[in-house]
Amino acid sequence: MARRESLAKKSAWTLVAWAIGFVMFFPIFWTGIAAFKSEADAYSLPRTWLTSPWTLENFAIVQARSNYLQYVFNTTVIAVLSTLLGLAFAIPAAWGMAFQPETKPSVNLSGKAWALILLFFFAVTAAIALSVGWRMTDNPLLGLALILLFGLPIAAWVWTRRTGDKLLWMLSTKMMPPAGALIPIYLIFNRNGLVFRQWGGVDLGDWNLIDTFAGMVPLMMLLNLPIVIWMLYTYFKEIPFEILEAARMDGAGLWQELSKVLAPMAVPGIASTLLLNVILSWNEAFWTLNLTNKNAAPLSFFISEYSSPEGQFWAKLSAASLMAIAPIMVLGWFSQRQLVRGLTFGAVK
């Protein structure tokens, strides 16, 4: 501003802003207070929040009743492992696309050729379905055919596109609504889903990924992978390629170029990405509610248990909520900017 705002004006803005900020924050503030009250007081909170006694008992009850720490552990395991796994896929991908961009498709087939290839794969799938029967439960070959014959050509097609198209395709995979994937994933995960009960001669009768880390971690990784790749990509793009070339001229081999020059420069970007991904998976509440109930259940599931409670429960709900949101809210405060970049796919920085 060229002109200094007058003091009165600034005071007025401050007042308005603080008022609105407080309104936005109020439900959290209220939860924070109720968590330290007795159940009876929690129900008359608006009248008594200043006068009624404070207590820590809710936290102890919550822990004793449903083993809060176990859920924290589960949430952390899923968030951290899925993030690390995601980075393992995303870092090389983002590196490749940022520093070795391809401006034209590496394989040039006409649209007609691609259509023919797809048609061919459809025909093979149909032939398999017709000859072995359409019931996947009897004929695992059909499941395999579906996976390979649909997945492979698409993957190959994407892989040979130019970098810009690859990125957009990755973005588009984030659009898959969970409702569309719920049934297949549920059945793939579930031993009763029968997709994997018997594969060929192999009996997979004990196959069950529901409520396991083995199921939730890769799932969460895939959910957020497009965002992670995009975010890393926008960070890598800001590193001048000439610096990596300078390292090559200075005699650095590929490994030294990556570890001594690129890695230190990329650390801030990787850290922000990691943070955002932890936040996203910490708060995920579609798949966790549908696919977990105990062993791998995270905090979002733990809280949902309070939706059908008995007796007075507000103070306990508040204590449990506070414990579930506090760590991630603090992380969130520190990652506001990165959040914008990550969630808008670099469209707003």
Partner 1 sequence: MATRQGQALGRLAVAPAVAALAAWSIVPLALAIYYAFLHYQLDNPDNTFFAGWSNFYYFVTDPFFAKDLFNTVALVLLVLAITIAGGVLLAILLDRPMWGQGIVRVMVISPFFIMPTVSALVWKNLMMHPVYGFFAHVWRAFGLTPVDWFASIPLLSVGIIVGWQWLPFATLILLTALQSLDLEQKDAAQMDGAGTVDFFRHITLPHLMRPITVVILIETIFLLNVFAEIKVTSVGGLAGNLTYLVFSQLNDANDVGEAAAGGLIAVVLANLVSAFLVRIVGRNLEA
Partner 2 sequence: MGSIQLKGVRKDFGTVAVIKGVDLDIKDGEFVVFVGPSGCGKSTLLRLIAGLEDATGGQVLIDGKDVTEVGPSERGLAMVFQSYALYPHMSVRKNIAFPLMMAKTPKDQIDAKVAKAAATLNLGDYLDRRPGQLSGGQRQRVAIGRAIVRDPTAFLFDEPLSNLDAALRVQMRVEIGELHGQLKKTMIYVTHDQVEAMTMADKIVVLDKGAVAQVGSPLTLYNKPDNLFVARFIGSPTMNVLSGAAAAKRGAASIGVRPEHVDVSTTAGEWKAKVRLAEHLGSDTFVHADVEGAGQMTVRREGEAALHAGDTIYLTPQEPRVHRFDAAGLRVA
Kindly list the residues in this chain that would bind partner 2 in the complex (CB under 8 A). 103-104, 240, 242-243, 245-253, 256, 260-261, 264-265
Q: What is the DSSP string of 251-315?
A: T--HHHIIIIIIHHHHHHHHHHHHHHHHHHHHH--SHHHHH-SSTT--HHHHHHGGGS--S--HH
- The site string for partner 1 over 104-143 (x = CB under 8 A, - otherwise) reads --x---------------------------xxxx-----x
Q: Determine the number of helices (DSSP H) and then strands (DSSP E) in the chain.
A: 17, 2
Please state, in angstroms and rounded to a whole number, the distance separating the CA atoms of residues 107 and 155. 13
**3-state SS class at 202:** strand
User: Do 124 and 177 form a contact (C-beta atoms < 8 A)?
Assistant: no
Q: Which does 250 bind (CB under 5 to 8 A by kind): partner 1, partner 2, none?
A: partner 2
User: Do 116 and 315 form a contact (C-beta atoms < 8 A)?
Assistant: no
Choose between 29 and 241: whose C-beta lies nearer to partner 2: 241
Query: Based on the number of CB atoms within 10 Å of its own CB, is 222 exposed (0-12), middle (13-18) or buried (19 or more)?
Result: middle
Q: Which does 285 bind (CB under 5 to 8 A by kind): partner 2, partner 1, none?
A: partner 1
* In the complex, minimum distance from the CB of residue 108 to partner 2, in angstroms, rounded to a whole number: 11
Q: Six-digit token pair at 46?
A: 């608006």
The CA-based dihedral angle spanning residues 174, 328, 64, 41, taken in that order and rounded to the nearest 10 degrees? -110
* In the complex, minimum distance from the CB of residue 267 to partner 1, in angstroms, rounded to a whole number: 19
Q: Which does 303 bind (CB under 5 to 8 A by kind): partner 2, partner 1, none?
A: partner 1
Which of 239, 280, 284 minimizes the C-alpha distance to 262?
239
Window of 50-58, 59-67, 202-210, 305-313 that interacts with partner 1 by CB under 8 A: 305-313
Site size toward partner 1, by CB under 8 A: 121
Does 260 sit near partner 1 (CB under 8 A)?
no
Binding to partner 1 (CB under 8 A) within 16-45 occurs at: 16-18, 20-22, 24-25, 27-28, 30-31, 34, 43-45
Choose between 105 and 133: whose C-beta lies nearer to partner 2: 105
Choose between 242 and 310: whose C-beta lies nearer to partner 2: 242
Binding to partner 1 (CB under 8 A) within 204-243 occurs at: 222, 225-226, 229, 241
Please state, in angstroms and rounded to a whole number, the distance separating the CA atoms of residues 156 and 114. 11
Answer for which of 8, 108, 307, 311 binds partner 1 (CB under 8 A) is: 307
Choose between 241 and 334: whose C-beta lies nearer to partner 2: 241
Helix (H) or strand (E) holding 129: helix 111-132
Answer for which of 8, 47, 104, 206 binds partner 1 (CB under 8 A) is: 47
